[in-house]
Amino acid sequence: MELPDDIYAQIEALSEKGNLEMDADNASAAIRAWEDALALLPPPSSDWEAYTWLSASLGDAYFVSAQLAMAYEHFMNALNGPDGISNPFILYRIGQCLDMQGDQATAVEYLLRAYALDGEDIFDADDGGQAYLGMLREKGLI
Protein backbone atom coordinates (compact mmCIF):
# COMPACT_ATOMS: atom_id res chain seq x y z
CA MET A 1 0.00 0.00 0.00
CA GLU A 2 1.15 3.48 -0.78
CA LEU A 3 0.06 6.70 0.84
CA PRO A 4 -1.94 9.15 -1.26
CA ASP A 5 0.40 11.62 -2.95
CA ASP A 6 -0.88 14.66 -1.06
CA ILE A 7 -0.46 12.99 2.35
CA TYR A 8 2.95 11.63 1.40
CA ALA A 9 4.11 15.09 0.31
CA GLN A 10 2.98 16.61 3.61
CA ILE A 11 4.72 13.87 5.59
CA GLU A 12 7.90 14.31 3.56
CA ALA A 13 7.88 18.08 4.15
CA LEU A 14 7.35 17.69 7.89
CA SER A 15 9.97 14.97 8.06
CA GLU A 16 12.51 17.21 6.33
CA LYS A 17 11.58 20.05 8.68
CA GLY A 18 12.27 17.70 11.60
CA ASN A 19 15.63 16.73 10.12
CA LEU A 20 16.61 20.37 9.71
CA GLU A 21 15.58 21.13 13.29
CA MET A 22 17.68 18.21 14.56
CA ASP A 23 20.64 19.46 12.52
CA ALA A 24 20.14 22.82 14.26
CA ASP A 25 20.11 21.08 17.68
CA ASN A 26 16.44 21.90 18.20
CA ALA A 27 15.05 18.51 19.20
CA SER A 28 11.79 19.91 20.59
CA ALA A 29 10.90 21.50 17.24
CA ALA A 30 11.89 18.28 15.45
CA ILE A 31 9.60 16.32 17.76
CA ARG A 32 6.69 18.62 16.94
CA ALA A 33 7.27 18.24 13.19
CA TRP A 34 7.52 14.45 13.36
CA GLU A 35 4.49 14.14 15.63
CA ASP A 36 2.52 16.26 13.14
CA ALA A 37 3.68 13.97 10.33
CA LEU A 38 2.75 10.85 12.28
CA ALA A 39 -0.73 12.26 12.87
CA LEU A 40 -1.28 12.41 9.09
CA LEU A 41 -0.97 8.64 8.64
CA PRO A 42 -4.30 6.94 7.96
CA PRO A 43 -5.35 4.35 10.55
CA PRO A 44 -3.98 1.99 11.47
CA SER A 45 -0.91 4.20 11.41
CA SER A 46 1.43 1.37 12.38
CA ASP A 47 0.81 -0.33 9.03
CA TRP A 48 2.67 2.34 7.06
CA GLU A 49 6.43 2.35 6.41
CA ALA A 50 6.49 6.02 7.35
CA TYR A 51 5.36 5.00 10.84
CA THR A 52 8.61 3.13 11.33
CA TRP A 53 10.94 5.94 10.31
CA LEU A 54 8.91 8.68 11.97
CA SER A 55 8.79 6.71 15.23
CA ALA A 56 12.55 6.08 15.01
CA SER A 57 13.14 9.78 14.36
CA LEU A 58 11.06 10.68 17.40
CA GLY A 59 12.96 8.13 19.45
CA ASP A 60 16.25 9.65 18.37
CA ALA A 61 15.12 13.18 19.21
CA TYR A 62 14.07 12.07 22.67
CA PHE A 63 17.32 10.10 23.04
CA VAL A 64 19.52 13.12 22.31
CA SER A 65 17.33 15.10 24.72
CA ALA A 66 18.13 12.50 27.43
CA GLN A 67 14.45 11.57 27.76
CA LEU A 68 15.21 7.87 27.74
CA ALA A 69 11.76 6.54 28.67
CA MET A 70 10.17 8.47 25.80
CA ALA A 71 13.00 7.46 23.45
CA TYR A 72 12.53 3.81 24.37
CA GLU A 73 8.76 4.04 23.82
CA HIS A 74 9.16 5.50 20.33
CA PHE A 75 11.91 3.07 19.37
CA MET A 76 9.70 0.17 20.46
CA ASN A 77 6.92 1.62 18.30
CA ALA A 78 9.38 1.78 15.39
CA LEU A 79 10.50 -1.79 16.08
CA ASN A 80 6.91 -2.95 15.70
CA GLY A 81 6.31 -1.02 12.47
CA PRO A 82 7.02 -2.36 8.98
CA ASP A 83 10.61 -3.62 8.73
CA GLY A 84 11.46 -2.21 12.16
CA ILE A 85 12.68 -5.54 13.47
CA SER A 86 15.38 -5.61 10.80
CA ASN A 87 16.62 -2.05 11.32
CA PRO A 88 19.99 -2.08 13.14
CA PHE A 89 19.72 1.58 14.18
CA ILE A 90 16.43 0.96 15.98
CA LEU A 91 17.83 -2.13 17.71
CA TYR A 92 21.03 -0.30 18.67
CA ARG A 93 19.18 2.65 20.20
CA ILE A 94 16.83 0.34 22.12
CA GLY A 95 19.91 -1.37 23.52
CA GLN A 96 21.40 1.97 24.51
CA CYS A 97 18.17 3.12 26.17
CA LEU A 98 17.92 -0.09 28.16
CA ASP A 99 21.57 0.04 29.23
CA MET A 100 21.29 3.67 30.31
CA GLN A 101 18.19 2.78 32.32
CA GLY A 102 20.04 -0.03 34.11
CA ASP A 103 18.76 -3.09 32.23
CA GLN A 104 22.05 -4.33 30.82
CA ALA A 105 20.86 -7.93 30.35
CA THR A 106 18.08 -6.94 27.96
CA ALA A 107 20.25 -4.22 26.41
CA VAL A 108 22.79 -6.85 25.38
CA GLU A 109 20.10 -8.77 23.50
CA TYR A 110 19.21 -5.74 21.38
CA LEU A 111 22.82 -4.69 20.86
CA LEU A 112 23.66 -8.22 19.72
CA ARG A 113 20.75 -8.13 17.25
CA ALA A 114 22.05 -4.82 15.87
CA TYR A 115 25.50 -6.35 15.56
CA ALA A 116 24.10 -9.41 13.77
CA LEU A 117 22.46 -7.17 11.17
CA ASP A 118 25.16 -4.53 10.66
CA GLY A 119 28.38 -5.75 12.26
CA GLU A 120 30.59 -3.09 13.78
CA ASP A 121 29.37 -0.37 11.40
CA ILE A 122 26.38 0.60 13.55
CA PHE A 123 28.66 0.86 16.59
CA ASP A 124 31.36 2.80 14.71
CA ALA A 125 28.76 5.37 13.64
CA ASP A 126 28.16 6.35 17.30
CA ASP A 127 30.59 8.06 19.67
CA GLY A 128 29.81 5.57 22.45
CA GLY A 129 29.66 2.56 20.19
CA GLN A 130 33.06 1.14 21.10
CA ALA A 131 31.98 0.77 24.72
CA TYR A 132 28.99 -1.29 23.61
CA LEU A 133 31.18 -3.45 21.37
CA GLY A 134 33.46 -3.93 24.36
CA MET A 135 30.48 -5.04 26.43
CA LEU A 136 29.56 -7.66 23.82
CA ARG A 137 33.16 -8.85 23.58
CA GLU A 138 33.52 -9.01 27.36
CA LYS A 139 30.49 -11.30 27.51
CA GLY A 140 32.01 -13.49 24.78
CA LEU A 141 29.13 -12.80 22.40
CA ILE A 142 31.25 -11.53 19.51
**Residue 52: per-residue pLDDT:** 98
So what's the pLDDT on residue 1? 77
Q: Hey, CA dihedral for 128, 125, 109, 73, is it positive or negative?
A: positive
Question: What is the distance between the alpha carbons of residues 94 and 88, in angstroms, rounded to a whole number?
Answer: 10
Helix orientation angle between 88-100 and 68-79, rounded to the nearest 10 degrees = 150
Q: What is the pLDDT of residues 37-73, one digit of tens each?
A: 999 999 999 999 999 999 999 999 999 999 999 999 9
Max Cα distance, the chain (Å): 51
pLDDT in tens, 82-120: 999 999 999 999 999 999 999 999 999 999 999 999 999
Q: Report pTM.
A: 0.94
Q: What angle do CA 22, 128, 113 make, to 5 degrees?
A: 95
